[in-house]
């Protein structure tokens, strides 16, 4: 087959003319004539064809064009296209239920590329005047099938749409496979069209057969105890098969962190009395993992961190995490040992130890804490029951204090979000904590402490515009005369990148004056027994990965009846990454005289 095609008559004429030239010419003339014969098909190839479809609405035209395909590229393709164009237009419309179209053609041959105009009037559509849809077998009483049939894309009296009909058949079979009807089949599958009357009869009979059940689990090894395996299974042996529950089981196994790979395979071919055995393949995770990180925060400056994790210590699913972090402001170390109780993911007992240094206002604090906490997940809410022993030593104005606290507590948290995990379009995060202590039960003073934080994200209809609101409130109540004995980590401070931007890290709180040995006075920030902070931020995404922000923060950490609003305003530039937004912000206090601008760096989502 030649690579180029051109009209036969033209080729003969050219060949004849060139032959005469070749006979009269010497070698050079022969060479040029041969070259011309090779190039001619490129310059004078056969006319191709462009086409347009007119007279149809968007969906009709798109379907017709899909049936017509690409415009022909040469004479042979053009001839075949013109021979079948009417049939293809008709099929494109019949697929949508139009069986009596009026089709006219106009062909312009005056140019090198021919132009075909297809003028179409679709006519009246065919409607379903007979609708015989029957469901037999155990699926006839399955609510999932009842819901689908009530919402199926074709209903009695609807316009015939062959794509919707094929989608119905596919959905019925897919739904059957997902819900354990592995013997399902169509016993009737027919659409008959009465073209003259513009009517159609649909006959679709679906026999699901019996529904299979979950059988025994087959796996080797001692990766999990039988109690843990049972708690992770969202079904029991003998329950009706459902693929979604099988996928949930696999997901929960993966989320435990015990395994680097999980595969649950239903062995339908080995079913006995409709019970399908499940083959469970588990690839254990690495016994130990280590992470080393470098970071920077405006509040705590440079930071080096190391995390050591043991995802599964024994067959009962115990795990541990040891985290060491160093920064000039806030070095810390903490160990958490996790013991699954009734569920490895949703009911866990945590044993904790923490050693931390921090700067609260003008107070240097060192905390040593041991605690136990039970964390229960229930319908997106996390309930925490805790008991912690805190020994805190702090220095203020040259005086050193040390106190012990035994604090039972309860926390409640909930997160709701829409959109990307690290950049939600909408969402609400809630956290509440209540704890207390008594000088009759292991604490050096009586206290009750409460704290709450809300973060709300809302995108406008044009999702380039986004609002973020934040509210924090807290209060601690101590016995009369013991306010000054309260440890700084149990008091409240404000200021910093996660609090009042425009103010230094934990620089806002109750202030006291003291006299130095030389007689001069100094003012120290020692924290408050109340906290109230609000923030509102407007964000505008001007590029897919970039957005600007303006914000105002206001609030105070204060003692009762001494509230004094501190207000900060600022602007920011955010770069959106897969791990959250990198936020570069500048903020200033409007409550102080001649304040300094503060530069803030943050990485992460709002919650």
411 and 320 in one domain? Answer: yes
Question: What is the arithmetic mean of pLDDT over 314-319?
Answer: 90
330 and 225 in one domain? Answer: no
pTM for the model: 0.76
Comparing 274 with 479, which gets the higher pLDDT? 274
171 and 96 in one domain? Answer: no
**pLDDT over threshold 80, residue 33:** no
Q: What percent of the chain has pLDDT over 70?
A: 91
**pLDDT over threshold 70, residue 576:** yes
Structure tokens that stand for 602 in this block: 């943050």
DSSP structural state of residue 156: T
509 and 369 in one domain? Answer: yes
Question: Is residue 159, in this structure, part of any structural domain at all?
Answer: yes
464 and 397 in one domain? Answer: yes
Task: Judge residue 361's burial from the number of C-beta atoms within 10 Å of its C-beta, 0-12 exposed, 13-18 middle, 19 or more buried.
Answer: buried
**pLDDT over threshold 70, residue 2:** no
pLDDT digits (tens, 9 = 90+) for 50-87: 999 999 999 999 999 999 999 998 889 999 999 999 99
217 and 195 in one domain? Answer: no
Question: Is residue 306, in this structure, part of any structural domain at all?
Answer: no
Split at pLDDT 50, 70, 90, the class of 47 is low
User: Helix axis angle, 243-255 relative to 162-178, nearest 10°?
Assistant: 60
Question: Is residue 522, in this structure, part of any structural domain at all?
Answer: yes
Give the number of domains in the chain: 5
546 and 472 in one domain? Answer: yes
CATH of the domain at 238: 3.10.20.310
Q: What pLDDT sits at residue 225?
A: 82
CATH of the domain at 336: 2.40.160.50
Task: Say how far apart CA 13 and CA 15 lie, in whole Å.
Answer: 5
Question: Is residue 403, in this structure, part of any structural domain at all?
Answer: yes
Comparing 422 with 140, which gets the higher pLDDT? 140
Average pLDDT across the chain, whole number: 88
Domain encompassing residue 374? 315-603
231 and 344 in one domain? Answer: no
| Largest interatomic CA distance in the chain | 126
DSSP calls for 74-139:
SHHHHHHHHHHHHHHHHHHHHTTT--S-EEEEEEE-SSSSEEEEEEEE--PPPEEEEEEEEEESGG
Question: Is residue 560, in this structure, part of any structural domain at all?
Answer: yes
Split at pLDDT 50, 70, 90, the class of 580 is confident
504 and 560 in one domain? Answer: yes
324 and 251 in one domain? Answer: no
Q: Are 412 and 382 in contact (CB under 8 A)?
A: yes
Question: Is residue 400, in this structure, part of any structural domain at all?
Answer: yes
End position of a domain, from candidates 184, 207, 230: 207
End position of a domain, from candidates 168, 183, 207: 207
**pLDDT over threshold 80, residue 454:** yes
Question: Is residue 515, in this structure, part of any structural domain at all?
Answer: yes
Q: What pLDDT sits at residue 373?
A: 98
Question: What is the arithmetic mean of pLDDT over 589-604?
Answer: 86
Q: What percent of the chain has pLDDT over 90?
A: 71
549 and 525 in one domain? Answer: yes
Q: Are 120 and 89 in contact (CB under 8 A)?
A: yes
**pLDDT over threshold 90, residue 195:** yes
pLDDT digits (tens, 9 = 90+) for 106-148: 998 877 789 999 999 999 999 999 999 999 999 999 999 999 9
**pLDDT over threshold 70, residue 34:** no
180 and 326 in one domain? Answer: no
Question: Is residue 352, in this structure, part of any structural domain at all?
Answer: yes
**pLDDT over threshold 80, residue 210:** yes
Split at pLDDT 50, 70, 90, the class of 279 is very high
**pLDDT over threshold 60, residue 16:** no
């Amino acid at each position: 087959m030649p690579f180029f095609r051109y009209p036969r008559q033209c080729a003969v004429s050219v060949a004849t003319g060139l032959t005469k030239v070749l006979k009269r010419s010497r070698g050079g003339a022969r060479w040029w004539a041969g070259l011309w014969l090779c190039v001619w098909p490129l310059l004078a190839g056969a006319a191709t064809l462009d086409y347009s479809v007119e007279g149809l609405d968007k969906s009709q035209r798109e379907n017709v064009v899909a049936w017509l395909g690409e415009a022909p590229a040469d004479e042979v393709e053009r001839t075949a296209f013109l021979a079948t164009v009417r049939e293809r237009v008709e099929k494109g419309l019949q697929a949508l239920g139009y069986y009596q179209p009026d089709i006219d053609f106009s062909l312009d041959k005056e140019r090198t590329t021919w132009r075909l105009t297809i003028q179409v009037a679709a006519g009246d559509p065919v409607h379903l005047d007979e609708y015989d849809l029957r469901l037999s077998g155990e699926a006839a009483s399955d609510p999932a099938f009842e819901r689908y049939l009530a919402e199926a894309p074709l209903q009695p009296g609807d316009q015939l749409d062959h794509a919707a009909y094929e989608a119905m058949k596919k959905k019925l079979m897919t739904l059957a496979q997902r819900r354990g009807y592995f013997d399902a089949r169509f016993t009737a599958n027919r659409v008959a069209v009465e073209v003259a009357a513009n009517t159609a009869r649909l006959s679709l009979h679906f026999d699901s057969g019996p529904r299979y059940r979950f059988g025994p689990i087959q796996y080797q090894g001692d990766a999990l105890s039988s109690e843990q395996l049972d708690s992770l299974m969202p079904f029991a042996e003998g329950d009706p098969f459902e693929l979604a529950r099988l996928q949930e089981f696999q997901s929960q196994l993966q989320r435990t962190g015990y395994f680097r790979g999980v595969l649950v395979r239903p062995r339908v071919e080995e079913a006995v009395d409709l019970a399908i055995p499940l083959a469970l393949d588990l690839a254990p995770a690495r016994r130990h993992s280590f992470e080393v990180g470098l970071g920077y925060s405006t509040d705590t400056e440079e930071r080096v961190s190391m995390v050591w994790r043991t995802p599964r210590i024994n067959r009962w699913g115990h795990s541990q995490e040891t985290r060491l972090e160093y920064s000039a402001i806030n070095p810390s170390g903490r160990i958490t040992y996790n013991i699954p109780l009734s569920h490895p993911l949703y009911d866990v007992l945590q044993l904790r130890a923490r050693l931390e240094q921090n700067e609260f206002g003008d107070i240097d604090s060192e905390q040593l804490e041991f605690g136990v906490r039970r964390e229960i997940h229930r319908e997106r809410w996390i309930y925490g029951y805790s008991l912690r022993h805190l020994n805190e030593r702090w220095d203020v104005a040259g005086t050193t204090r040390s106190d012990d606290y035994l604090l039972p507590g309860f926390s409640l948290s909930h997160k709701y979000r829409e959109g990307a995990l690290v950049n939600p379009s909408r969402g609400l995060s809630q956290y509440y904590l209540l704890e207390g202590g008594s000088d009759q039960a292991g604490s050096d003073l009586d206290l009750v402490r409460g704290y709450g934080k809300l973060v709300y994200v809302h995108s406008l209809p044009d999702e380039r515009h986004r609002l973020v609101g934040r509210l924090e409130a807290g209060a601690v109540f101590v016995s009369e005369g013991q306010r000054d004995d309260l440890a700084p980590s149990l008091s409240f401070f404000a200021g910093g990148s996660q609090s009042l931007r425009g103010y230094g890290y934990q620089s806002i709180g109750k202030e006291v004056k003291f006299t130095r040995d030389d007689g001069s006075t100094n003012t120290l920030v020692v924290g408050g027994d109340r906290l109230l902070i609000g923030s509102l931020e407007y964000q505008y995404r001007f590029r897919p990965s970039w957005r600007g922000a303006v914000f105002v923060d206001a609030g105070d950490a204060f003692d009762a009846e001494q509230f004094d609003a501190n207000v900060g305003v600022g602007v920011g530039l955010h770069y959106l990454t897969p791990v959250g937004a990198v936020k570069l912000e500048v903020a200033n206090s409007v409550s102080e005289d001649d304040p300094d601008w503060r530069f803030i760096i943050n990485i992460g989502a709002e919650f």
